[in-house]
Chains A and B, each alone.
Chain A
Amino acid sequence: SQQGEEDPQALSIQEGENATMNCSYKTSINNLQWYRQNSGRGLVHLILIRSNEREKHSGRLRVTLDTSKKSSSLLITASRAADTASYFCATAASYNTDKLIFGTGTRLQVFP
């Protein structure tokens, strides 16, 4: 069963705007990860945030984690057309870190 649910399912913005995607999950986690997938390609790891962390940055990416609400958000600042892709959150449960459970993803379209 899929643990993560992303919101919104699809997002369209103009270049230069910020994009925010949200992820909710159901069980206690060890860590939460965000991935990017260009159309028809494999996944690229973006960032990992551990359950004892609240915020993490990587370049134009900012991830927050609220374990009390079982939710995370991914913010992409100053978006570019090249950011157009699907973005997935994935969680490793605290009781079983052996596997990742993926959400349904957010399709981001950035218009030039």
Chain B
Amino acid sequence: DGGITQSPKYLFRKEGQNVTLSCEQNLNHDAMYWYRQDPGQGLRLIYYSQIVNDFQKGDIAEGYSVSREKKESFPLTVTSAQKNPTAFYLCASSSGLGWYFGAGTRLSVL
């Protein structure tokens, strides 16, 4: 089955802790994206990558970091600098016209 897999589904972060959200795709898409969604809100772009070993900041990149070492994988790290990390995080990939989203990771702070 082709698609995007995000893990874990639920994640809890302690104060001062960095956590990493996984996103893997087997669609052979070059472009991958991370969005944040707050309750009752739309999606805001955190980071995106058009090609391996390259990525760009989105609208709300502060407190987050990414890497793109492989075409299939685009992990997102929520650092301790992100003071309000509680949100629903969505990963997407695109071939240019077709966009596909993962099922999301819900991050909460303990």
Q: What are 16 A-B pairs with beta-carbon distances under 8 A?
A: A1-B59, A35-B101, A41-B103, A41-B104, A42-B104, A43-B90, A43-B92, A45-B100, A45-B101, A88-B43, A90-B43, A97-B96, A98-B48, A102-B44, A104-B41, A104-B42
B residues adjacent to A (C-beta < 8 A): 4, 6, 31, 33, 35, 40-45, 48, 50, 56, 58-59, 88, 90, 92, 96-104, 106
- B99 and A100 within 8 A (CB): yes
- A42 and B103 within 8 A (CB): yes
Interface size, chain A (Cβ < 8 Å): 25
Question: How many A-B contacts at CB < 8 Å in the complex?
Answer: 56
- A99 and B88 within 8 A (CB): no
If the complex has contacts A42-B90, A42-B103, A45-B99, are A102 and B35 also in contact, measured as CB distance less than 8 A?
A: yes
What is the chain B residue whose CB lies nearest that of A107? B40
What is the chain B residue whose CB lies nearest that of A103? B42
Q: Cβ of A101 < 8 Å from any Cβ of B?
A: yes
